[in-house]
């Protein structure tokens, strides 16, 4: 007679070795959760500027947007899914990510937007962000 057994904790399985071998023989069906792509950053500070290197692989440079507002920098990109060729009418596996990704961060000093430079090569976006020259304060005499 077959009995249905439900084991919630594998440490307390009735037949631990049998369960282990049975699980090894099952096809692995775990899929990565669908998630938006991640923009990874390296930020370095020099004497007069910041250098930012951002990984944005698989994106055309026309699909990358960089915005600077004072000391706030925002990098966003849209990864578009290409149409796959189908083999025998069905896709066997699709793991490439697509979607919209955005990353914002604040720097210690304001950035001079007019002198900023952005380059994109081999999936790496490199930003050179010069610091704004500090405005000197002037003491006003009180009359």
pLDDT tens string, the chain, 143 residues long: the values are 455 555 545 555 556 666 666 666 555 544 444 556 789 999 999 989 999 999 998 888 999 999 999 999 999 998 876 665 555 677 777 777 778 889 999 999 999 999 999 999 999 999 999 998 876 667 777 86
DSSP string, 34-101: P-----EEEEEE-SSEEEEEEE-TT--GGGEEEEEETTEEEEEEEEPPPPPPPBTTB-S------EEE
Asked if residues 120 and 64 have their Cβ atoms less than 8 Å apart, the reply is yes
Report field, pTM of the whole predicted structure over 0.85: no
> How is residue 12 annotated by DSSP?
G
Listed in sequence order, the residues at least 6 apart from 115 whose beta carbon sits closer than 8 Å to its beta carbon are 130
Q: Which helix (H) or strand (E) holds 102?
A: strand 99-106
Take residue 140 and report the two structure tokens written for it. Answer: 């006003």
Structure tokens at 7: 């084991």
- How remote is the C-alpha of 140 from its chain's centroid? 49
Asked if residue 78 lies in contact with residue 66, where contact means CB atoms within 8 angstroms, the answer is no
Cα 110 from Cα 134, distance rounded (Å): 9
pLDDT at 2: 52
| Domains (range + CATH), the chain | 40-82+95-130 (2.60.40.790)
């Amino acid at each position: 007679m077959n009995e249905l057994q439900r084991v919630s904790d594998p440490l307390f399985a009735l037949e631990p070795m049998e369960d282990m071998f049975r699980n090894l023989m099952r096809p692995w069906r775990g899929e990565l959760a669908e998630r938006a792509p991640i923009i990874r950053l390296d930020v370095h500070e020099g004497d007069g500027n910041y250098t930012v290197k951002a990984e944005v692989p698989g994106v055309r440079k026309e699909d990358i947007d960089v915005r600077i507002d004072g000391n706030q920098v925002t990098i966003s990109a849209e990864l578009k899914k290409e149409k796959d060729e189908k083999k025998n009418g069905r896709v066997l596996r699709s793991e490439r990510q697509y979607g919209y990704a955005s990353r914002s961060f604040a720097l210690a000093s304001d950035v001079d937007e007019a002198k900023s430079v952005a380059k994109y090569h081999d999936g790496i976006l490199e930003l050179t962000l010069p610091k704004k020259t500090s405005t000197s304060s002037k003491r006003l005499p009180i009359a």
